[in-house]
Amino acid sequence: MNAPDKLMPLSAGASAALADFADRAWDERIVPALTDYIAVPAKSPMFDPDWAQSGHLDRVVRDAAAWVEGRKLPGLKLEVLRLEGRTPLIFFELPASGSTSQATALLYGHLDKQPEFNGWRSDLGPWTPKYENGLLYGRGGADDGYAVYAAITALEALQAQGLPHPRCVGLIESCEESGSGDLPAYIEVLKPRLGQVGLVVCLDSGAGNYDQLWLTTSLRGMVSGVLKVEILTEGIHSGDASGLVPSSFRILRQVLDRLEDSKTGQLLPQSFHCEVPTERLRQARATAAILQDEVWKRFPWACGADGGPTLPTTTDPVEALVSRTWRPTLSVTGVDGFPDLKNAGNVLRPHTAFKLSLRLPPLVEAHEASLKLKTLLEDNAPYNAKVTFHADGRAGALGATGWNAPELAPWLEDALNAASNTHYGAPVGYIGQGGTIPLMRLLQQGFPQAQMMVCGVLGPKSNAHGPNEFLHVPYGKRLTAAVAAVLTACP
């Protein structure tokens, strides 16, 4: 997009009208739609291999498509695409209105969800929506079911006030929580219809607090997969064999010691690290000054709400921000081969398997890292045990590479600050995120000149993927108005 000499700010009246439109739309249309959406267990294909038969993904896609079409935006065209063997995708197009821009704004979200998890509050559940004190509880509302509804509402708000916007297209997928493996095929099919993308608005990210607009500056990548150690063909009496037959769990611990220093959590292979760009360190210091100890106090520490000096890996806000966004980290997210505690007899188990989630810095290529990880874990197995690591993904596309935002254009920086000050009463904040949105790197490669507005409603305690996930509705309202303000500022 060609930058204008000076961004013309919206009048106070126009800004107030956008905010009022967003408020009413959320109360009257979006919250009811999301309440229905949360009630559907539309788990991502990785967690529901029989998704096509269960019909839950198709249900939420149909519901969202019907809602969008029901808004009757002039000129809007919507299509639900279904490539053979792939999850469905919503694609919509809206022609420019009152704008001379030759570029296209692409709006992105997803409708698939993470699985239930446990630990929900007694009056809550993943598929039992509850609206309480401005918070809409339940799986997927904040991550990321709201996105399509908020995006369309932002466009509606602009047209209701006669404000200009560029041509807009929408990609709403249903495979993001499984690594967006189906998305490249759809983008290839849609490429002639996408146009020259000059701005990407991704509504699948987070916020440092609920007091200002937050722009995501980077996303970590990820390699996930199953590490399995087999030592026996069947379980045997532990009194008879222990001391002679090595424990599969002990072997797995030794194998993981090649990857991680268990005392510090530091990943040992240097190939999984990268240098942190100077600008990202500067932004981390500025964000740390805003959030201070809330960077680490926001988590539900078992010893109490404020944690303690020995609980976090660091209590330095700058170090905490960098560690969760630019450093590789290993998590074990699932196990196999263990009986329930109540059924744990005196048996030496034949195998142990861990589901590994390896978060990678934004500049480390995931497929190459997955191959190195497989070699590291499998070679020279202790006791000549059978050790295998199977990475998630398809051949040639294992893992998901992270993303580092391009340099911010002056017009977008001005528009973001104006929108944040107008709708939140504070300037825009800049924050890296530790999660992964595979689409962002894909779009940056395909449209290297595009600007990126990556943001979202996942602020403190919102707990995406975990128990008691909620959507902060007041923040969602302001974000919708802010997106509208940025779209109308597109040159």
* pLDDT for position 5: 43
Which pLDDT belongs to residue 7?
57
Supply the DSSP symbol for 270. G
User: Which CATH topology does 12-219+402-489 take?
Assistant: Aminopeptidase (3.40.630)
One-letter identity of residue 150: A
CA distance 408 to 410: 6
Indicate the pTM of the whole model: 0.92
What token pair was written down for 236? 């045997």
**Cβ-count burial of 124 within 10 angstroms (0-12 exposed, 13-18 middle, 19+ buried)?**
middle
Residue 4: the pLDDT is 46
Tokens of 145: 């079911």
Query: In this predicted structure, what is the pLDDT of residue 302?
Result: 83
Are the C-beta atoms of 80 and 65 separated by less than 8 Å?
yes
Look at the domain 221-271+327-398 and name its fold: Alpha-Beta Plaits (3.30.70)
Q: What gap in Å lies between CA 398 and CA 212, rounded to an integer?
A: 36
Instruction: State whether residue 341 is helix, strand or coil.
Output: helix
- DSSP structure string for 115-145: ---S---TT-BTTB-EEETTEEESTTIIIII
pLDDT of residue 310: 56
Q: For residue 120, how many other CB atoms are within 10 A of its CB?
A: 18
Using only C-alpha atoms, what is the Rg of the chain?
24
List the chain domain ranges. 12-219+402-489, 221-271+327-398
Question: What's the half-sphere exposure (Cβ side, CA atoms, 13 Å) at 125?
Answer: 6
pLDDT, tens digit only, all 491 positions of the chain: 444 445 567 999 999 999 999 999 999 999 999 999 999 999 999 999 999 999 999 999 999 999 999 999 999 999 999 999 999 999 999 999 999 888 999 999 999 999 999 999 999 999 999 999 999 999 999 999 999 999 999 999 999 999 999 999 999 999 999 989 999 999 999 999 999 999 999 999 999 999 999 999 999 999 999 999 999 999 999 999 999 999 999 999 999 999 999 999 999 999 999 999 999 999 999 999 999 999 998 888 887 655 555 578 899 999 999 999 999 999 999 999 999 999 999 999 999 999 999 999 999 999 999 999 999 999 999 999 999 999 998 777 889 999 999 999 999 999 999 999 999 999 999 999 999 998 899 889 989 999 999 999 999 999 999 999 999 999 999 999 999 999 999 99
Burial 248-286 (b: 16+ CB within 10 A, else e): bbebbebbbeebbeeeeeebeeeebbbebeeebeebbee
Give the integer Cα–Cα distance in Å for 322 and 279.
12
